[in-house]
Amino acid sequence: MHIPQEKAERHTLAVIVDNEPGILARIAGLFTARGYNIESLTVSEITADKSVSRITIVTSASPATMEQILAQLDRLVPVHKVTDLTAQGAHVERELALVKVRGTGDHRIEALRLADVYRARVVDATTSSFVFEVTGGIDKIDKFVELMGEVGLIEVARTGIVAIARGKEPA
């Protein structure tokens, strides 16, 4: 008898937590212990008194597994709220990347031209290299990095996804 496997879908989760030592390790441990992969993870304080943080997690899972992930996250004591932004509907996702590129001669001109097309800002420049700052969706950043690979890519640093629901209601 063949049991069909459910297809894994990409989900972006917003998790509001108390800002206390060990909470990130507990959440990462929850994923690790159950064999779930975290594709992207970002954390930031979101209140003036720095007592609450927002963790944005991107993961891929089947619908049944996603239900388990959401239920397990919701049970953790310092977790205030868990929202599956993907299931909720329209939301905005962005990432920031710093991209270091060799830049001499024609390669320098081409790197600057590509940066202009992708609206990347030069945040550091020497006579032999640039560091560009580019923000946008994953596909945009992946393509920018790919094109810079042809010009003289040296190094890439990426922040991970930040996301927020569209509309007037909070996540």
Q: What pLDDT score does 103 carry?
A: 86
Q: Which helix (H) or strand (E) holds 148?
A: helix 138-151
What confidence category does residue 2 fall into, taking pLDDT thresholds of 50, 70 and 90?
low
Helix-helix angle 105-117:138-151, to 10 degrees = 170
Q: If you average pLDDT over every residue of the chain, what do you get? A: 92
pLDDT at 51: 95
pLDDT of residue 104: 86
Alpha-carbon distance of 114 to 145, in angstroms, equals 10
* C-beta of residue 13 within 8 angstroms of C-beta of residue 72: no
Band the pLDDT of 147: cuts 50, 70, 90.
very high
At residue 171, the pLDDT reads: 67
Distance CA 43, CA 161 (A): 10
- List, as own/partner pairs, every contact residues 163-169 make where C-beta atoms lie below 8 angstroms and the sequence separation is at least 24, other chains included: 163/12, 163/14, 163/56, 163/85, 163/91, 163/92, 163/93, 163/94, 164/14, 164/85, 164/91, 164/92, 165/14, 165/83, 165/85, 165/88, 165/89, 165/90, 165/91, 166/89, 166/90, 166/91, 166/92, 167/90
Cβ burial of 33 (10 Å; 0-12, 13-18, 19+) is exposed
- In the chain, the percentage of residues whose pLDDT exceeds 90 is 84
Which span out of 27-31, 34-38, 73-77, 129-133 was modeled with the highest average pLDDT? 129-133
> Which tens digit of pLDDT belongs to each residue from 3-57?
556 788 999 999 999 999 999 999 999 999 988 999 999 999 999 999 999 999 9
Of residues 170 and 82, which shows the higher confidence score? 82
Helix (H) or strand (E) holding 28: helix 23-33
Residue 143 has pLDDT above 80, yes or no: yes
Answer with the residue of higher pLDDT: 144 or 105: 144
Does 145 score more than 70 pLDDT? yes
pLDDT tens-digit readout, 100-121: 999 888 999 999 999 999 999 9
Q: Quick one: average pLDDT of 52-68?
A: 93
Rounded Cα gap, residues 101 and 132, in angstroms: 8
